[in-house]
Chain A
Amino acid sequence: MKRRVLVAGIALVGLVSTLASLPTDSTAQGKVVKIGLSLPLTGADADGADAILKGAQMAIAEVNAKGGAAGYKLEAVVFDSATPAAGQYDPAQAATNYKKFIADSLVMAAVGPNMSGEGKAISPILSEADMATITPSSTNPDITDPKFQSQYRPKGKAVYFRTVTTDAFQGPNMANYLFHAQKMKTVYVLDDGGAFGVGIADSFQKRAEELGVKVLGRDRLDPKEADYKTILTKIKGLNPDALYYGGVMQAAAKLATQGYEVMPRVIKAGSDGVYDLSWPKQSGKESVEGWFCSQASPELVTSPKLEAWVTKFKSEMKREPTNYAITSYDAILVIADAIGRTAAANKPITRTNLRDAIQATKMGSIQGPIAFDANGDILTRTVSIYQWRDGEIKYVGVAPEK
Chain B
Amino acid sequence: MSALAGRLGARLGRARWRALPIARRRQIMTPVLLAIGLAFPFLTGNAGNVDAAANAFTYVLLALGLNIVVGFAGLLDLGYAAFFAIGAYGYGIAASGQLKPAWSSLWAPLAWAGQVSRLVVPGQPDTVQFHVTFWPMLAVTAIVCAVFGMLFGAPTLRLRGDYLAIVTLGFGEIVPVVARNWEGLTNGAQGLGGIRTPTLLGYDFGFSPYPYYFLGLALVTAAVWISIRLQESRVGRAWMAIREDELAAGAMGVNHVHYKLLAFAMGAAVGGLAGTFYVAKLTTATPDMFTFPVSVMVLVMVVLGGLGSIRGVVVAALFVAFLQSVLLQDLTEYVHALGRLVGSDFLQRLELITSLELIFGLILVLMMIFRREGLWPAVRKVSALTREQQAAAPSRGSAVDLEWARPQTAGGPGRPLLQIEALRKSFGGVAAADEITLTVHAGELVSVIGPNGSGKTTLFNLITGLISPDSGSIRLEGHEIGGRPSHEIVTRGVARTFQNIRLFNNLSVMENLLVGEHSRLEAGVLGAILRPPRVRREEERAVERALQAVSMFGNRLLPRIDHPVYGLSYANRRRTEIARAIMTRPKLLLLDEPAAGMNPAETLELMDLIHGFRGLGITIILIEHKLDVVMDVSDRVVVLDHGVKIAEGAPAQVRSDERVIEAYLGRRRRAA
Q: Give the B-binding residues of A (Cβ under 8 A).
A: 1, 3-6, 10, 13-14, 16-18, 20-23, 41-43, 80, 83-88, 90-92, 95-96, 99-100, 102-104, 117, 120-121, 124-125, 128-129, 140, 142, 148, 150-152, 191, 193-195, 197-199, 220
Please give, as numbers and ranges, the residues of chain B lying within 8 Å of A142 by CB-CB distance: 190, 193
CB of B72, distance to nearest CB on chain A (Å): 23
Q: Which residue of A lies closest to B49 (CB)?
A: A21
A121, B190: Cβ atoms closer than 8 Å: no
B61 at the A/B interface (Cβ < 8 Å)? no
Q: Which of A3, A83, A121 contacts B375 (CB 8 A)?
A: A3
What are 6 residue pairs bridging A and B, where the CB atoms are less than 8 Å apart in the complex?
A1-B2, A20-B330, A84-B355, A85-B294, A91-B282, A103-B48
B286, A17: Cβ atoms closer than 8 Å: no
A103, B47: Cβ atoms closer than 8 Å: yes
Q: Which residue of A lies closest to B96 (CB)?
A: A151
B48, A99: Cβ atoms closer than 8 Å: yes
13 new A-B contacts, CB < 8 A, other than A80-B353, A96-B51, A148-B194, are A3-B375, A10-B319, A17-B331, A22-B46, A84-B355, A86-B288, A90-B289, A96-B325, A99-B209, A103-B48, A142-B190, A191-B189, A194-B288
Tell me the bound Cα distance from A278 to B288 in angstroms. 25
CB of B244, distance to nearest CB on chain A (Å): 25
Residues from 346 to 382 in B contacting A, C-beta threshold 8 Å: 351, 353-357, 375
B189, A150: Cβ atoms closer than 8 Å: no
B284, A121: Cβ atoms closer than 8 Å: yes
Q: A85-B293, A198-B188 are in contact. Are A14 and B327 (CB under 8 A)?
A: yes
Residues from 184 to 200 in B contacting A, C-beta threshold 8 Å: 188-191, 193-194
Q: A83-B324, A84-B354 are in contact. Are A5 and B189 (CB under 8 A)?
A: no
Tell me the bound Cα distance from A156 to B110 in angstroms. 28
Tell me the bound Cα distance from A115 to B49 in angstroms. 25
Tell me the bound Cα distance from A104 to B46 in angstroms. 9
B284, A91: Cβ atoms closer than 8 Å: yes
Tell me the bound Cα distance from A283 to B51 in angstroms. 42
Please give, as numbers and ranges, the residues of chain A lying within 8 Å of B5 by CB-CB distance: 4
B190, A199: Cβ atoms closer than 8 Å: yes
A96, B180: Cβ atoms closer than 8 Å: no
CB of A269, distance to nearest CB on chain B (Å): 20
B326, A21: Cβ atoms closer than 8 Å: yes
CB of B376, distance to nearest CB on chain A (Å): 8
Residues from 298 to 348 in B contacting A, C-beta threshold 8 Å: 319, 322, 324-327, 329-331, 333
Q: A85-B297, A92-B55, A142-B190 are in contact. Are A17 and B324 (CB under 8 A)?
A: no
Of B46, B55, B207, the most chain A CB neighbours within 10 A belong to B207
CB of B44, distance to nearest CB on chain A (Å): 9
Q: Which of A10, A117, A128 contacts B191 (CB 8 A)?
A: A117
Tell me the bound Cα distance from A205 to B120 in angstroms. 29
Please give, as numbers and ranges, the residues of chain B lying within 8 Å of A103 by CB-CB distance: 46-48, 51
B407 at the A/B interface (Cβ < 8 Å)? no
A17, B327: Cβ atoms closer than 8 Å: yes
Q: Which residue of A lies closest to B319 (CB)?
A: A10
B333, A96: Cβ atoms closer than 8 Å: no
B181 at the A/B interface (Cβ < 8 Å)? yes
B206 at the A/B interface (Cβ < 8 Å)? yes
B282, A95: Cβ atoms closer than 8 Å: yes
Q: A96-B55, A151-B96, A197-B189 are in contact. Are A4 and B286 (CB under 8 A)?
A: no
B284, A99: Cβ atoms closer than 8 Å: no
Complex A-B, nearest 5 residue pairs according to Cβ-Cβ distance, in ascending order: A151-B194, A17-B330, A103-B47, A84-B356, A100-B48
Please give, as numbers and ranges, the residues of chain A lying within 8 Å of B284 by CB-CB distance: 91, 120-121
Tell me the bound Cα distance from A7 to B396 in angstroms. 46
B354, A129: Cβ atoms closer than 8 Å: no
Please give, as numbers and ranges, the residues of chain A lying within 8 Å of B194 by CB-CB distance: 124, 148, 150-152
Please give, as numbers and ranges, the residues of chain A lying within 8 Å of B357 by CB-CB distance: 84-85
Tell me the bound Cα distance from A128 to B180 in angstroms. 29
A194, B375: Cβ atoms closer than 8 Å: no
Please give, as numbers and ranges, the residues of chain B lying within 8 Å of A121 by CB-CB distance: 282-284
CB of B335, distance to nearest CB on chain A (Å): 13
Interface size on B, residues (CB 8 A): 51
A21, B330: Cβ atoms closer than 8 Å: yes
Tell me the bound Cα distance from A83 to B194 in angstroms. 23
A4, B188: Cβ atoms closer than 8 Å: no
B1 at the A/B interface (Cβ < 8 Å)? yes
A17, B282: Cβ atoms closer than 8 Å: no
Q: Which residue of B lies closest to A198 (CB)?
A: B189
Tell me the bound Cα distance from A104 to B47 in angstroms. 9
Q: A83-B324, A84-B293, A129-B207 are in contact. Are A99 and B351 (CB under 8 A)?
A: no
A99, B51: Cβ atoms closer than 8 Å: yes
CB of B259, distance to nearest CB on chain A (Å): 31
B353, A84: Cβ atoms closer than 8 Å: yes
Please give, as numbers and ranges, the residues of chain A lying within 8 Å of B319 by CB-CB distance: 10
Of B180, B206, B286, B291, the most chain A CB neighbours within 10 A belong to B286
Tell me the bound Cα distance from A41 to B350 in angstroms. 12
CB of B189, distance to nearest CB on chain A (Å): 4
B37 at the A/B interface (Cβ < 8 Å)? no
Q: Which residue of A lies closest to B355 (CB)?
A: A84
Please give, as numbers and ranges, the residues of chain A lying within 8 Å of B282 by CB-CB distance: 91-92, 95, 121
Please give, as numbers and ranges, the residues of chain A lying within 8 Å of B329 by CB-CB distance: 80
CB of A198, distance to nearest CB on chain B (Å): 4
Residues from 259 to 309 in B contacting A, C-beta threshold 8 Å: 278, 282-284, 286, 288-289, 291, 293-294, 297
Tell me the bound Cα distance from A239 to B461 in angstroms. 65
Q: Which residue of B lies closest to A97 (CB)?
A: B48
Please give, as numbers and ranges, the residues of chain B lying within 8 Å of A41 by CB-CB distance: 351
A87, B283: Cβ atoms closer than 8 Å: no
B52 at the A/B interface (Cβ < 8 Å)? yes
Please give, as numbers and ranges, the residues of chain A lying within 8 Å of B293 by CB-CB distance: 84-87
A42, B324: Cβ atoms closer than 8 Å: no
B207, A120: Cβ atoms closer than 8 Å: no
Tell me the bound Cα distance from A5 to B1 in angstroms. 8
Please give, as numbers and ranges, the residues of chain A lying within 8 Å of B297 by CB-CB distance: 85
Please give, as numbers and ranges, the residues of chain A lying within 8 Å of B326 by CB-CB distance: 17-18, 21
Q: Which of A95, A128, A150 contacts B206 (CB 8 A)?
A: A128
Q: A117-B286, A195-B286, A198-B189 are in contact. Are A23 and B55 (CB under 8 A)?
A: no
Please give, as numbers and ranges, the residues of chain B lying within 8 Å of A43 by CB-CB distance: 354
Q: Which of B46, B189, B330, B354 contacts A42 (CB 8 A)?
A: B354
B207, A96: Cβ atoms closer than 8 Å: no
B416 at the A/B interface (Cβ < 8 Å)? no
Tell me the bound Cα distance from A280 to B288 in angstroms. 28
Please give, as numbers and ranges, the residues of chain B lying within 8 Å of A199 by CB-CB distance: 189-190
Please give, as numbers and ranges, the residues of chain B lying within 8 Å of A120 by CB-CB distance: 190-191, 193, 284
B97 at the A/B interface (Cβ < 8 Å)? yes
Tell me the bound Cα distance from A334 to B289 in angstroms. 33
CB of B344, distance to nearest CB on chain A (Å): 17
CB of B88, distance to nearest CB on chain A (Å): 11
Q: Which of A3, A13, A42, A198 contacts B190 (CB 8 A)?
A: A198
Q: Which residue of B lies closest to A82 (CB)?
A: B353
Tell me the bound Cα distance from A383 to B289 in angstroms. 31
Tell me the bound Cα distance from A90 to B180 in angstroms. 16
Tell me the bound Cα distance from A220 to B177 in angstroms. 11
CB of B126, distance to nearest CB on chain A (Å): 17
Tell me the bound Cα distance from A104 to B325 in angstroms. 17
Tell me the bound Cα distance from A120 to B1 in angstroms. 52
CB of B192, distance to nearest CB on chain A (Å): 9
B191, A99: Cβ atoms closer than 8 Å: no
A20, B209: Cβ atoms closer than 8 Å: no
CB of B213, distance to nearest CB on chain A (Å): 12
A124, B294: Cβ atoms closer than 8 Å: no
Tell me the bound Cα distance from A102 to B208 in angstroms. 10
A152, B193: Cβ atoms closer than 8 Å: yes
B209, A14: Cβ atoms closer than 8 Å: no
Q: Which residue of B lies closest to A125 (CB)?
A: B207
CB of B180, distance to nearest CB on chain A (Å): 6
Tell me the bound Cα distance from A174 to B2 in angstroms. 70
Tell me the bound Cα distance from A17 to B354 in angstroms. 18
CB of B127, distance to nearest CB on chain A (Å): 13
CB of B598, distance to nearest CB on chain A (Å): 39
